Structure 1
């Protein structure tokens, strides 16, 4: 049975068709069984394909002139879903002409179009945006929600944990991912009622292929102590931008320090291997590919400024999710927990009298 092809919004992002096509071509070297539907300006796409003859043979072009602008309001973009490269890429997934869509375009528009066109899968109330971030250990950490929904109740958080664990088993290759809820402290009494009720539900869900390790504070996200960090989209987006901003701050601070004097410049030459490793580790292109989990179809967001290698990583994430059939995995985990148990536990029924939750 052939694998479903990947629809690529070739016009999204800062660099357009040239980088999007090159990135898809790089990803195909690792996933050579996949074919692509390249959506956008046919002339630009054909010019980009001239440098990648193997990619040309594996691709079909769907021409369209219209593009969602980077600063366009989602409400306006939705009205043009049937004429834009982003909208047509998502529509291809809805119609069954592709198994997944990748775009480096406007995040808000992609999120809104995806929700409307693909809808949420059975058993999921709200989709979540999940991303990969570096840690001090050899594995990345998956964090969700990063902004798809500003608020989340206990039931939503439990669903995010199930989806994040399913993603971790595919992306990180761990059979029983360690899962934690982002909180202001690790003690059982800390946080909102929603966090404590979600913790109780996850603690009781011993049948799931995950290990719930309680709460985690934001300063420990990148320490490598867990595989999945679960939170609402408001807190998750703030945490993500704080982490990215700190990484840029440290990089710029080092650059300033190493150019402040002749002695510093000499020190830079001596320590260059270490600084290059740091730069590589913090480069967002090496962790590119945010996934909208919980939709009836795979939808992946690439950084708008991603280079070809960054796009390749986003496309590779998409390919792995299709190969592993992540939608089926999430459905199976939801069924394992049981709808009634999910509703009762996440609503606080059966919790201890003081409303707290123990963590392993």
Structure 2
């Protein structure tokens, strides 16, 4: 397998991205193509004594899409942006997958324009594996579509089901619809229209409505919602995790020498 990596996207790029790629090819059985400013990428490799090899190569891209840029406009304007070039390598069959840690909107848009949709899928969505009491809960959509229709949530349920089954190895994944209550009558118009559609869908195992607390509990393997709600949940979880870690650290610091040990 050969993976195209956007070396210019993400925090502390390209240094951390390049170093991560170097470690990855040592640990796993795949090749990496670093896409971005060739001079900067080589500078990082030289600085840390790493070299290009059969497993690690570079493809130059002269432009970068920054976090604050409008994804669709930037993709159209910057044809030689690193995420665009990396996605093109997959489209042309030169790589098997693309990894990007930069602008999520740019990555989704590049894939949408460059690779196209799966047949039968009107809108792509972002799937986020979240640690739970029972293993992993896949939350989708986590931010690709702020305004979704019932059919988009049904598409997400189907994609999430297959992701859990074939990528995470869950034999019979269960799918839940995120709502403010367990009853079928609960929720806004989107949830009320989506529920019977999922209930009548024979290709997945629909559990019913689930609430936010069911995500870390692992009540179901896949939780479906619109991108606005999913992104709020994701960012809240990130903030809560950081808060708990900070709280534990502060408590330990105030608890004496034995607690610190």
Aligned to 1:260: 254
Give yes or no for contact 2:25–2:56 (8 Å, CA) kept in 1: no
Give yes or no for contact 1:49–1:56 (8 Å, CA) kept in 2: no
Residue 195 of structure 1 pairs with residue 191 of structure 2: yes
Unaligned runs of 5+ in 1: 270-360
Separation in 1, partners of 2:205, 2:72 = 40
Q: How many Å apart are 1:61 and its aligned residue?
A: 1.5
Aligned to 1:128: 125
Aligned to 1:214: 208
Matches within 5 A, 1:1-360: 3=1, 5-29=2-26, 31-32=28-29, 34-49=30-45, 51-52=49-50, 56-137=53-134, 139-206=135-202, 208=203, 210-262=204-256, 265-269=257-261
**Aligned partner of residue 68 in structure 1, secondary structure:** coil
**Aligned partner of residue 144 in structure 2, secondary structure:** coil
Separation in 1, partners of 2:72, 2:154 = 29
Separation in 1, partners of 2:27, 2:255 = 44
Q: How many Å apart are 1:227 and its aligned residue?
A: 1.1
**Aligned partner of residue 254 in structure 2, secondary structure:** coil
CA RMSD of aligned residues (A): 2.1
Q: How many Å apart are 1:39 and its aligned residue?
A: 0.8
Instruction: Give the structure-1-normalised TM-score.
Output: 0.67
Separation in 2, partners of 1:28, 1:214 = 42
Separation in 2, partners of 1:189, 1:153 = 18
Separation in 1, partners of 2:57, 2:101 = 19
Give yes or no for contact 1:144–1:160 (8 Å, CA) kept in 2: yes
Give yes or no for contact 1:183–1:191 (8 Å, CA) kept in 2: yes
Unaligned runs of 5+ in 2: none
Separation in 1, partners of 2:179, 2:217 = 16
Aligned residues: 259
Q: C-alpha deviations, 1:283-306, integer Å up to 9, x for none? A: xxxxxxxxxxxxxxxxxxxxxxxx
